[in-house]
Amino acid sequence: MTNVKPIRDIENPIHRRFVASALLRLKDRLKSDILAGAEAETQSLRLASWNLMHFGNGGAYTREAESMMYIAEIIDHFDLVAIQEVNENLAALETLFRDHLGSGWDYIVTDTTEGSKGNSERLAFAFRKSKVWFRREAGEIVLPTGQKIVEPGRASDAGDAAVGRDDDDADGVQFARTPFSVAFQSGWFKFKLCTVHIFYGNASETSPEMAHRREEIRRIADFLAARQSKEQKVQGKAANFVLLGDFNIVSPEHHTMQALEGAGFVIPEAIKNAPTSLSGKHHYDQIAFRLADDRFSLLRSGVFSMFDVIYRNEDSDHYLDHVWGTAFDRNSDGNLRTRDQKENYYRRYYRKHQMSDHKLLWCEIQTDFSKDYLNAVLADG
C-alpha cells in the first residue's frame, strides 16, 4: 500500500480535504477497474506501461505532493510498470519510491540517451519485490552495423525518403532513445521485457521523420524477434518477449502499427483499439507479446483514464479558487488571463504537467503454471 501521510504536508485545509476525497475516489476506481475479477495475488502479474511526461524535469513539470500521491497510488495497483520519460535528474523518481511507494518496491533505470533526439531521457522499470524477480540480466539495445535505422543519405528498406544522418555516426542512425531490455520472472512466468520511447519528429505522412519513426519500430521488433529465435535455438527452451512503451503509433490501421505487428508481436485488442493520448485521437502506447510458452494466458487488459477520477474538468474551480492564488494569473506574454482562459490552462496544461499527457495501459497475466506441470508429470506415465 502507498504512504498517504504526506497529505499532511498540504497546508491549505480546504485543499487537504479535497485531495483526501480525490485519493479515496481514485482508490475506488482502481479497485473497480484493475482489481475486480483479478486472480489471487499469487497467481497473476499485473503489468503496465506509462509515459510520465518529463518526470523530474522541474519547472512547470515539478509535481506537487498531491500528484505524487496520485501517481504512486496508480502504480501501486500493478506489479511491474515500465515508465518512459524519466528525466536525467532522478530526484523525483527517488522521492516517489522513498516517500510514497515504500520498501516493497524497487526500480531499475537506464542512463540518459545522449544527443538532442534523446532529450536527456531515461527509461525505467518499477517492480513489486514480492511478485517480481529481476533475473540479473539487463541491457540497452544498440543495433549492429547493417541493422541500423537507416543508412546515411539513402532511403529505408521500405522505400521512404532518406532520414537525415547524425554527424557523429558515419555508419547510420541508431535509436533516438535507446530501448531497454530486462529479464524478469513472476511466478512460473519467465520473460524478457523491453521498453521503448520511439522517435516522434514531424508527424506529416510524407516526412522523413515519420519514416524514421516507422523504421525504429520495425527495427526493434525485428531485433527482438531474431533474438527470441536465437535464444530458443541456443538454450533449447521457450523464450518469451514483451515489447511495450511509447511507440508513437498513429492508429491501429497505420503503417507504424504494421511495423510492430509485422515481426509477429501480438497486441491485446482492448489495448490496440483504445487511444492512449489525452486527445483520444492517437494510439501511441502499446503492450505487445511474442511468446513461445504455450502455457501463457492473458486474463485482462485495458487503458486507465486518470482524468475521469482526478484533476477532472469539474475540479477547475477548486484549483482556481483555493490552490493557485495568483500563480497563473498571467500568460507567457505577461497578459492577464480571464477566468475562462485560466480554466483552459488548467485543462490543457496544468493537470497534464502534474500527471501526464499519456494514459496508462495495462494487462493481467496468468503466472501460475503448476497445474500444467503436474499434468505433464501424469502424462509421463
Q: Please write down the HEC assignment for all residues of the chain.
A: CCCCHHHHHCCCHHHHHHHHHHHHHHHHHHHHHHHCCCCCCCCEEEEEEEEEEEECCCHHHCCCHHHHHHHHHHHCCCCEEEEEEEECCCHHHHHHHHHHHCCCEEEEECCCCCCHHHCCEEEEEEEECCCCEEEEEEEECCCCCCCCCCCCCCCCCCCCCCCCCCCCCCCCCCCCCCCEEEEEEECCEEEEEEEEECCCCCCCCCCHHHHHHHHHHHHHHHHHHHHHHHHHHHHCCCCCEEEEEECCCCCCCCHHHHHHHCCCCECCHHHHCCCCECCCCCCCEEEEEECCCCCCCEEEEEEECHHHCCCCHHHHHHHHHHHCCCCCCECCCCCECCHHHHHHHHHHHHHHHHCCCECEEEEEEECCCHHHHHHHHHHCC
Grid cell 538454450 in the structure block, residue: 235
Longest dimension (CA), the chain: 82
Q: Say what the pTM is.
A: 0.92
pLDDT in tens, the chain (381 residues): 999 999 999 999 999 999 999 999 999 999 999 987 766 667 899 999 999 999 999 888 999 999 999 999 999 999 999 999 999 999 999 999 999 999 999 999 999 887 778 888 999 999 999 999 999 999 999 888 766 786 444 444 444 444 444 444 445 678 999 999 999 999 999 999 999 999 999 999 999 999 999 999 999 999 999 999 999 888 777 799 999 999 999 999 999 999 999 999 999 999 999 999 988 889 999 999 999 998 999 999 999 999 999 999 999 999 999 999 999 999 999 999 999 999 999 999 999 999 999 999 999 999 999 999 999 999 986
Q: How many CB atoms lie within 10 A of CB 57?
A: 20
- Residue 60 has a pLDDT of 86
- Residue 99 has a pLDDT of 96
Contact 228, 277 (CB under 8 A): no
- The sign of the torsion formed by the CA atoms of 242, 247, 250, 253 equals negative
Q: How many CB atoms lie within 10 A of CB 377?
A: 9
Q: Indicate the domain borders of the chain.
A: 5-310+355-379
Structural fold of domain 5-310+355-379: Deoxyribonuclease I; Chain A (3.60.10)
Task: Locate 161 and state its grid cell.
Answer: 525518403
